[in-house]
Chain A
């Protein structure tokens, strides 16, 4: 009998081939639709909202939603404490949440992925430094850290995005670094090293495409967390500043009317937050399972 040896597969790095993902089993259709819906609302807010979200008339304050006594179809979901239409504020609030959420996730993801790759691939003192900083920053709860930074630089939409990016990049860096460490051992990376490719080339051409998957999954999972944090910050008064409509801010305002039963100011924004976060989480969970079984421990 002869001895056979399997051929050595010399493949280069390639990200997973694109696939018609919406046909895959278990695809979270409803969450994705919800997210798309919110995105569309955010984009077309100007056309959709019946009123200007920042202008209200005190004569019409605290009107309840249309189906309750004292409400009217003019203000479908009621008005707030200065007479602004709740529905319009919710619609424009979607824009704020989407913009802040997505941008912050991209910022955090960008920083985190780059640092994760660099730290994981180069190793040595670069790795040590990045890891120590990551560990320390991770020790501080995100909300506390964000509040601290917001107190220093003052609230504004841009500041919040930067702050959230600074607070959350560490989570990316950790995960991506872990991936890079195991990627480093793979055949195609070693071949590239042997072939004399420069470190930056390897990191860009070989490592990066392979961690994109994880980065995307993490981004989706992070979206929910970021939005809740942003809402919390707005609720506490250090998030998106008034009079811009942010859902968290609306709830803070709503608290004023809560004790006398003006429930719509609190419940509706909260529902919106919940829908968006829930959808993002469901999508992220599904992506995690589909794209990389290794990430299941995330």
Chain B
């Protein structure tokens, strides 16, 4: 593996502009992150924080109301923003693949499994209908679906939720992408299925050398699956770095709040902690740091000036004025303290 990152986003911004041009929603704001081949990056945030929009931005499949306004997206050395629509279509599915949250909704109810799994093969590899069908059977096998020969001719509604999500996974890896983006793939699965599915993803990743971007709001999954983590708030990355470091010594108050809000059996406090207030309206963000209104550690400068990403050591950055020499984060929890709220063990 080369030392060049596989994917590198630099100051990427994507805004939704209302028809009259009056309301601008900064859904993705100055995002900078990078990913190496074979690495797993977790992206965490509340709903509305911009994580799904970020994923769609990378795939350049934003709805017409949205626009990428600045930045670069380097994938395998090429700027994805320079590509034409036709070139982008070749990237999608073949070099970067994406899995969506709801597997039932992701599959077309009127076409067979084999048809839908074989589609990318027919488009990107020029496979014939027959050979795409055969390869589909093989793909179903690789995602651990029993009796794939019968399943391949069936329809989505005949499958269970867990199976459907595996099928979607099969579609994702069908053309051998280098990067797989998974947008909350386990959110609609039962808890017991979740663990199996995550196991599967790990295996696939190892077998195919995939880089994985895992979008979730579940920090437990992040702990088990991810090497690095980026925390998003109001469209911006507020903290990113290796998972172990972020969990043991978070620098940003928001990250601390997220980690602190996870209930654990060892906790003797009686009340659940929540974060005060509501996420901001992305169309009218405050002048200073977006989290300042809710931040328990905010001071004057936070409300006045939005902080840049400040390196805090160990390959981490935090978008917080506390990270300057005047305020340093104290260690709170260690990684082993993380509750095992994700079924059985994931090595």
Contacts and interface: CB of A to CB of B under 8 A. Distances in A.
A4 B277 CA distance: 8
Contacts of B274: 1, 3-4
Interface string A1-19: 1111000000000000000
B294 to A, nearest CB: 9
Contacts of B275: 1
B33 interface: no
Contacts of A1: 257, 273-276, 296
Given A1-B257, A1-B275, 8 more contacts: A1-B273, A1-B274, A1-B276, A1-B296, A2-B276, A3-B271, A3-B273, A4-B277
A1 B277 CA distance: 11
Interface in A1-49: 1-4
Query: How big is chain A's contact interface, by range?
Result: under 10
Interface of B: 257, 271-277, 296
14 contacts: A1-B257, A1-B273, A1-B274, A1-B275, A1-B276, A1-B296, A2-B276, A3-B271, A3-B272, A3-B273, A3-B274, A4-B274, A4-B276, A4-B277
Contacts of B257: 1
A251 B274 CA distance: 72
Nearest to A2: B276
A2 B275 CA distance: 8
A23 to B, nearest CB: 16
B332 to A, nearest CB: 14
A1 B274 CA distance: 7
Give 6 closest A-B pairs by Cβ, nearest first.
Answer: A3-B274, A1-B273, A1-B276, A4-B276, A3-B271, A1-B296
Nearest to A3: B274
Contacts of A4: 274, 276-277
A2 B273 CA distance: 7
A193 B277 CA distance: 33
Contacts of B276: 1-2, 4
Nearest to A5: B274
A4 B257 CA distance: 15
Nearest to B273: A1
Interface in A77-125: none
A3 B277 CA distance: 9
A257 to B, nearest CB: 51
Contacts of B277: 4
A4 B273 CA distance: 10
A3 B271 CA distance: 9
A75 B341 CA distance: 88
A24 B277 CA distance: 34
A197 to B, nearest CB: 34
Contacts of A3: 271-274
Interface string A229-242: 00000000000000
Contacts of B273: 1, 3
B238 to A, nearest CB: 17
A54 to B, nearest CB: 53
B213 to A, nearest CB: 30
A136 B274 CA distance: 54
Chain B CB within 10 Å, residue with most, of A1, A2, A3: A1
A67 B275 CA distance: 79
Nearest to B277: A4
Nearest to A6: B278
B271 to A, nearest CB: 6
B257 to A, nearest CB: 7
B151 to A, nearest CB: 37
A3 B296 CA distance: 13
Contacts of B271: 3
Contacts of A2: 276
A134 B126 CA distance: 56
B250 to A, nearest CB: 15
A3 B257 CA distance: 13
Nearest to B274: A3
B122 to A, nearest CB: 37
Contacts of B296: 1
Nearest to A25: B20
A2 B274 CA distance: 7
A26 to B, nearest CB: 12
A4 B272 CA distance: 12
Nearest to B296: A1
B162 to A, nearest CB: 34
A34 to B, nearest CB: 28
A4 B296 CA distance: 14
A290 B172 CA distance: 43
B253 to A, nearest CB: 10
A1 B275 CA distance: 7
A1 to B, nearest CB: 5
A24 to B, nearest CB: 14
A4 B276 CA distance: 7
Interface string A169-203: 00000000000000000000000000000000000
A3 B274 CA distance: 6
B160 to A, nearest CB: 32
Nearest to B271: A3
B89 to A, nearest CB: 33
A244 B257 CA distance: 79
A176 B272 CA distance: 44
B166 to A, nearest CB: 36
A3 B273 CA distance: 7
A1 B253 CA distance: 12
A7 to B, nearest CB: 14
A240 to B, nearest CB: 46
A274 B35 CA distance: 64
A195 to B, nearest CB: 31
